[in-house]
Every structure is written in structure tokens, then in C-alpha cells.
Structure 1
Amino acid sequence: MREETIAVVRRRLKQEIRDLREALDRWRGLQGVEDASDPERMPDVEGMTYRSWKQRTETRLQVLRATLERLDDEDFGYCDDCGNEIPAARLLAVPTTTRCVHCMSAREERGAQARPMVF
């Protein structure tokens, strides 16, 4: 894995982490409460929407932080399934990926076949 690719991925991960933290802080500020999901302070629908967004955002932050920690591992940038190097273009497009396009497509195809068709 080329150092310059890792440096770009690192910058992008750090920037997205900052952006998500700022978004969480802005939302809290707009609500004027420490925990904007407090059911006593928010209408039900708005509270559910916020809680869903907050949960997705916090999950994304965890994934980004874990990827940031993995950047220095010698196996970063190699597919978890086949072991081949993940192309730099894919890592730059999807820095959190752990699979090459071929293996990810195969995995998605297997998942689609396992799901029953709904009519």
C-alpha cells in the first residue's frame, strides 16, 4: 500500500470524523438540551427521527475510528476474503472497505440469493 494513499485516506477519515462530531454538536445546540433525544423535551416523531440519525451517526463514527486505527496495520488495504490488494481508487472512494470489488460483489450476490423473493 502506497504511503500517499494511506495519508489521503487518513485525512479523509479524520475530516469525516470532525464533520460528524460537529453535526452532533450543532444538533444538540439547536435543541438547547444536552441530550436532544430526551422524550420529555421532544415531540415523538422528531425524537424518533433524531434518535435514529444519532444512532446511525454514532455507528458511522465507530466504523471510522476503527478504520483509522487499522491504517497502520500491515494488512490494511488487503481484501479480508481473497487477500489481494484493494486498489487505491476503491480505498479512496470507500476508505472503510475491507473487501475488493470482486469479493464484495460475490458476498452481496450470495446475500441476495439467501433472501426470499417478496411479491
Structure 2
Amino acid sequence: MSNLLDSLTTELRRGTLTLAVLSQLRTPQYGYSLVQLLKESGITIDQSTLYPLLRRLEKQELVSSSWDTSESRPRKYYVLSDYGLEIFLKLKEDWMSISKELYTILREDEENDVD
């Protein structure tokens, strides 16, 4: 049961992490700053998960990246592309609708458990 639950939890988190990352890229962020922003919001993401996700989002043309070499340590910044913003806003709308529907279903289920 533990392996199944872990697998299902990972599957559930995968889509939500994508949405969470996109939500933070309206302004340019580098990897560590993105991890910190998400952590402040209560969302934990490992760098081993974040960087492959950022590469995938860039390949899908949802984000663009650029290097900042003005400081002693070069940093790669990521930001939503125009297309990425359009997709993010649609995903956000869909997520809000699905969340509301799911909350209603789970709430009804919880009330039935009390009976």
C-alpha cells in the first residue's frame, strides 16, 4: 500500500508543481530563488525536480531563460514567455474550477462519513 500511495501522491503533485512554478515566473527567477519562493508558500520542491521541470517548460516554449553574468556567480534566470503566460492563465482558471468541484465532492463525502 505504501508504494502505491507514494506513486499516486507523486502523480498528484506533478501537475500541481508545474502550475506552482509557472505562477512564480511572471518575474524572472533563478533556480534557488524559485525554490525559496515556493517554500515560503508552503510548497517544497527539490532542485532535482525543479531543473528538469524548468528545462521541459523551456522546451515547450512556456518559459525563456537568460544568463546574468553581472555578479561573481553567473545565474540562469527563467521567466514566462507570452505563450507561457497565456497557458498559465488558462491552467489557473481550469485548476480553480476543478479545485472547487473536487472540494464540493470531498466535502459531501466527508459529511456522508459522519452519518
TM-score, normalised to structure 1's length? Answer: 0.30
TM-score, normalised to structure 2's length? Answer: 0.30
